[in-house]
Amino acid sequence: MNSKLLFCSVLGNKHLCISSTCIDTKLKKKFPVTIVAPIASIAAVVVMIILLFVLRKKMSSRSKSEPWIKTKRRRFTYSEVLVMTKNLQQPLGEGGFGIVYHGNLNGSEQVAVKLLSQTSAQGYKEFKAEVELLLRVHHINLVSLVGYCDEKDHFALIYEYMSNGDLHQHLSGKHVGSVLDWGTRLQIAIEAALGLEYLHIGCKPAMVHRDVKSTNILLDEEFKAKIADFGLSRSFQVGGDQSRVSTVVAGTLGYLDPEYYLTSELSEKSDIYSFGILLLEIITNQRVIDQTRKKPNIAEWVTYVIKKGDTSKIVDPKLQGNYEPRSVWRALEVAMSCANPSSAKRPNMSQVIIKLKEYTNSPHSSVELRVTATFDSDMYPKAR
């Protein structure tokens, strides 16, 4: 029987495959292409991100370990700071920045070393701001910067040493047996005013200190005054719309300008208010804020006492009457004009200096005290 059948020979044809193994091989070849390629792309992106992160971290750490300021003043290592302070053995005081230690350079030059505390409200930003400011300001009534330390997590400012501490220590009696006479107090006020005048007029751009107070007025061996602590200082443009700077309120309660406190607008008149409070403190030796008084704020208290006519309570009793009444009362007028709640009614520092210098040689005579400022207690920031 002849059956019509079609026979196809596949033997020897290398392009054809009739086994299951051939099909599996083709699938295996396609699998890496469709699955592995996307995984490789994702892995490459992840590696690039990690490399960029590591590189950025290295650059950041290098920028903190290298000096960011080109200066002739010395950059000290933390090991050198420990050597000069004998492992931080002699603290001189403590402020918002941290503890200040006594130190010695090369066994001869005395210095004050201000070390940034890890728990300080002020940080690296304030540290850097203070260094940069002190590198460009030079005045006999501003504390001089000897050098600084900026090593990893250790930050320190090295200043000239002021052997008589700060003004507050002398007024408060912490220096036993030390009572500043009126002539010395007035001279300290004038020198502090000269330092502020330089910041307001002599600096380019002009500067506002923002924390003028008795603990920031340092005294050398001859009781010459120098302003310290510039961590809160801000620059501003003189004249025009830029004469005021909107900023977060900073300063010390009692010395803080009430207008600045309410508006957050900072100008040199804020320093002038603080100086007025400082001058009242010098005259009265009263606390700037004292909740036991009928009027806690020192400016309000002075106004209250004057209106009652009991002016004998105003002058520091430690002076025991050894002062020229005209000089004291005129200085009090200057203080009250500086502490006027309205910044527009406050004098500038040049006017303050002229007035204070006039009173250094005033004749010993009585004078009627005139107080023109009106104080509203609601304007002053209250302690919480």
* Token representation of residue 98: 């941290």
Q: Which amino acid, residue 382?
A: K
Burial of 99 (0-12, 13-18, 19+ CB in 10 A): middle
Q: What are phi and psi of 165, to 5 degrees?
A: 65, -145
Give the largest CA-CA distance in the chain: 156
Q: Which residue has the tokens 């495959």?
A: 17
Q: What is the DSSP code string of 114-181?
A: EEEPTT-SS-HHHHHHHHHHHHH---TTBPPEEEEEEETTEEEEEEE--TT-BHHHHHHT-STT----
Q: Where are the alpha helices (DSSP H) in the chain?
A: 20-31, 37-65, 78-84, 124-136, 167-172, 182-197, 258-263, 268-284, 298-308, 325-338, 349-358
Distance CA(278)–CA(225), nearest Å, equals: 13
Distance CA(223)–CA(186), nearest Å, equals: 11
Q: Are 88 and 103 in contact (CB under 8 A)?
A: no
Q: What is the DSSP code string of 12-32?
A: T-TT---SHHHHHHHHHHHHI
Is 295 a known ligand-binding residue?
Answer: no
Closest alpha carbon to 131 in 213, 74, 216: 74
211 is catalytic: yes
* Token representation of residue 116: 């940034």
Instruction: Categorise residue 101: left if φ over 0, alpha if ψ from -120 to 50, beta otherwise.
Output: beta
Q: What are phi and psi of 231, to 5 degrees?
A: -65, -25
Q: Considering the candidates 153, 166, 181, 211, report the single residue annotated as catalytic.
A: 211
Query: How far lies 204's CA from each of 68, 86, 238, 261, in Å?
Result: 21, 38, 10, 26
Instruction: Give the annotated binding-site residues for ATP.
Output: 114
Active site residues: 211
